[in-house]
């Protein structure tokens, strides 16, 4: 499990250590220098003659870069520090100069000089981005913004070292300067990093879209901080999911393993019912019951003869895949789908009206239009950004899809507050928010962005919730963890289905059993 803490928590953990005189910056800078040396060695035969450019801001982030630069200079690396602010860390600057580093001050310089320095930096072996860390407020300003813009442009043009692999390796200090440390937003220009060396604790912004794709490989360095209290964000790893997976024992039977009730699919979208039930069957549900139109039920049984069509007790529900969101929503086209959506919703509503016992539920697609004012945390809503926007707007938030995409954690959190449910926001990185705590999962290849993949996820998650139904209802925080685990299994199944190439949604469902077997270690 990777745990991430907000900037304020990191500062609070640093404070007593700094007061006690612990050399936190030395530790951070030394670890940074070691990482840059390792990266240089991986890229060229000799350190001597290697060129490293440090982009240095006014604060301690720049200080880290300067002290690390001094270590590199002492090892024979040609180090140039570019000061992008009218201030720089005094001790760091003196130490770098003493070690033989060069300093270029951009204060008071015009755009031409900034452009020339960017062109030079683009020919370095490594660029170290120490402009801003957790002290950043909003978008990069002034000279820092100009330099990062010019450098990003030069890198895109490919002005790299003639004898190197094309362009410099970019190492971000603590975080790529200018990203939102706590929320992963991109308020302005950011130099995309190949690696981020982060100190004391991973910051949520490194794991969250859209910033996560600008961070490269994240290397966390322990500088001795004791972060107690719950992390702001977590990311499950394979071992976490393997450990928690409910492996059936000798006393289990199909009912103890969990029955999933699926309310999905319409005459217009029968495939969604097949995909959802396939996801649930392939994830090892004890039984899958299908509840929906007769013709769709026939298609389901033809594809998955294990599925039982008809009423009965269930341990979790999956509601909504393949059910259009109904007459409350403006139809995309006047093709009658609008009407059918209304009828399907009414049928689904009728189906669920008979449910008396509290059971976890996955609420997807058209099912989102069925929600009451408040939901229990064991309801997991699984919208993509467009559906989340519709949900938020229906609850009074004046928000657009591009705003949801620019700040997914914020808006998933808002939807959690407004509904009380657990919210799983689908995307390249999946963000899950429960009543206490959030997860971000980046397990899926881009190939998974294909029609029906969400239906498979809904079924898979339904089976995982059914297996731990009573626990999920008792512990308000558990649904989020199970949802994050489902996103991990889903993403890994997509990779397994066809490593490095396209996948169809049904292929993903078919790859779930082997994925789970690998996770539980058998
Ligand atoms: N404490 C420690 O010992 C340790 C700290 N560590 C390191 O310190 C980092 C945090 O350092 P920090 O607090 O000094 O903040 P930092 O990120 O360098 O930036 C603040 C400066 O930037 C400026 N500025 C702000 N926003 C701006 C913008 N949008 N565009 C342009 N400028 C902007 C702001 O100026 P102001 O707005 O105040 O005028 C201020 O001068 C942390 O990430 C880690 O790397 C590690 O070494 C471990 C030990
Ligand atoms: N760029 C991407 N990279 C990886 N996975 C993605 C990406 N975009 C979407 N996904 C995943 O693909 C699935 C698509 O689901 P969804 O949008 O509901 O499709 P559908 O409704 O057609 O089933 C989700 O699990 C989502 O997280
Ligand atoms: K930085």
pLDDT band at 357 (very low <50, low <70, confident <90, very high): confident
DSSP element (H, E) containing 85: none
In tens, the pLDDT along 53-75 reads 999 999 999 999 999 999 999 99
pTM exceeds 0.80, yes or no:
yes
pLDDT > 80? residue 327: no
Distance 322 CA to ligand 2 centre (A): 15
pLDDT band at 326 (very low <50, low <70, confident <90, very high): low
Distance 176 CA to ligand 2 centre (A): 27
pLDDT > 90? residue 324: no
* 205 touches ligand 1 (CB under 6 Å): no
* 426 touches ligand 2 (CB under 6 Å): yes
**CATH node for 2-235:** 3.40.50.10260
* 264 touches ligand 2 (CB under 6 Å): no
Query: What is the Rg, in whole angstroms, of the alpha carbon atoms belonging to the chain?
Result: 26
* 467 touches ligand 2 (CB under 6 Å): no
Question: Mind giving me the DSSP string for 143-170?
Answer: HHHHHHHHHHHHHHHT---TTTTSS-EE
Distance 171 CA to ligand 3 centre (A): 9
Q: What pLDDT score was predicted for residue 519?
A: 98
* 18 touches ligand 1 (CB under 6 Å): yes
In tens, the pLDDT along 247-261 reads 999 999 999 999 999
Q: Which CATH class is domain 252-520?
A: alpha beta
Pocket test for ligand 2, best of 443, 444, 445, 490 (most atoms within 8 A of CB): 444
Distance 449 CA to ligand 2 centre (A): 4
Question: Could you tell me the residue ranges of all domains in the chain?
Answer: 2-235, 252-520
153: nearest Cα among 125, 122, 128: 122
* 129 touches ligand 1 (CB under 6 Å): no
* 199 touches ligand 1 (CB under 6 Å): yes
Averaged over 358-366, what is the pLDDT? 94
82 alpha carbon, distance to own chain's centre = 32
Q: For a pLDDT cut of 90, what percent of the chain falls above it?
A: 86
Q: Which residue has the higher pLDDT, 327 or 52?
A: 52
pLDDT band at 346 (very low <50, low <70, confident <90, very high): confident
Report which DSSP code applies to 268.
S
Q: For a pLDDT cut of 70, what percent of the chain falls above it?
A: 94
429 annotated ligand binder: yes
426 annotated ligand binder: yes
Distance 428 CA to ligand 2 centre (A): 7
* 15 touches ligand 1 (CB under 6 Å): no
Distance 406 CA to ligand 1 centre (A): 23
Q: Which residue is it, tokens 């996955």?
A: 362
66: nearest Cα among 16, 158, 129, 116: 129
Lowest mean pLDDT among 35-44, 355-364, 367-376: 355-364
254 annotated ligand binder: no
DSSP element (H, E) containing 95: helix 90-98
């Amino acid at each position: 499990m990777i745990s991430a803490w907000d900037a304020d928590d990191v500062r609070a953990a640093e404070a007593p250590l700094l007061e006690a005189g612990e050399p936190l910056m030395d530790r951070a800078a030394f670890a940074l220098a070691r990482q840059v040396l390792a990266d240089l060695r991986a890229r060229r035969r000799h350190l001597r003659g290697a060129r490293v450019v440090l982009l240095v801001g006014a604060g301690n982030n720049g200080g880290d870069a300067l002290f690390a630069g001094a270590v590199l200079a002492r090892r024979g690396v040609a180090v140039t520090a570019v000061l992008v602010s009218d201030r720089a860390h005094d001790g760091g600057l003196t130490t770098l100069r003493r070690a033989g580093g060069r300093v270029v001050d951009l204060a008071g310089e015009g755009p031409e000089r900034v452009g020339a320095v960017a062109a030079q930096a683009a020919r370095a072996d490594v660029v170290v981005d120490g402009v801003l860390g957790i002290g950043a407020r909003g978008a990069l300003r002034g000279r820092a913004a100009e330099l990062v813009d010019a450098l990003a442009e030069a890198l895109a043009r490919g002005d790299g070292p003639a004898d190197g692999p094309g362009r410099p390796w970019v190492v971000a200090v603590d975080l790529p300067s200018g990203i939102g440390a706590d929320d992963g937003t991109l308020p302005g220009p950011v130099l995309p990093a190949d690696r981020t060396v982060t100190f004391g604790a991973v910051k949520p912004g490194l794991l969250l879209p859209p910033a996560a794709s600008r961070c490269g490989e994240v290397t966390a360095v322990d500088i001795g901080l004791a972060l107690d209290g719950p992390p702001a964000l977590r990311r499950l790893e394979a071992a976490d999911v393997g450990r928690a997976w409910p492996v059936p024992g000798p006393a289990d039977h199909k009912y103890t393993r969990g029955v999933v009730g699926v309310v999905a699919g319409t005459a217009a979208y029968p495939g969604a019912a097949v995909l959802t039930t396939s996801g649930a069957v392939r994830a090892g549900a004890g039984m899958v019951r299908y509840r929906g139109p007769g013709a769709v039920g026939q298609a389901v049984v033809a594809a998955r003869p294990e599925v039982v069509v008809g009423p009965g007790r269930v341990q979790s529900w999956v509601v909504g895949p393949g059910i259009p969101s109904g007459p409350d929503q403006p139809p995309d086209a006047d093709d009658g789908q609008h009407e059918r959506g209304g009828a399907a919703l009414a049928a689904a509503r009728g189906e669920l009206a008979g449910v008396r016992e509290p059971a976890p539920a996955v609420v997807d697609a058209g099912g989102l239009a069925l929600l009451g004012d408040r939901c229990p945390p064991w309801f997991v809503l699984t919208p993509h950004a467009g559906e989340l926007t519709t949900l938020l707007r229906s609850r009074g938030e004046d928000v657009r899809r591009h705003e949801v995409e620019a700040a997914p954690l914020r808006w998933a959190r808002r939807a959690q507050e407004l509904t009380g449910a657990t919210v799983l926001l689908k995307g390249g990185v999946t963000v899950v928010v429960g009543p206490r705590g959030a997860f971000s999962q980046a397990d899926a290849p881009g190939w998974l962005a294909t029609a029906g993949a969400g239906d498979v996820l809904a079924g898979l998650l339904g089976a995982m919730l059914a297996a731990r139904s009573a626990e999920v209802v008792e512990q308000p925080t558990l649904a989020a963890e199970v949802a994050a685990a489902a996103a991990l299994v889903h993403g890994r199944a997509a990779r397994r289905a066809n490593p490095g190439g396209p996948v169809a949604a049904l292929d993903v469902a078919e790859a779930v059993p082997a994925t789970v077997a690998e996770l539980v270690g058998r």
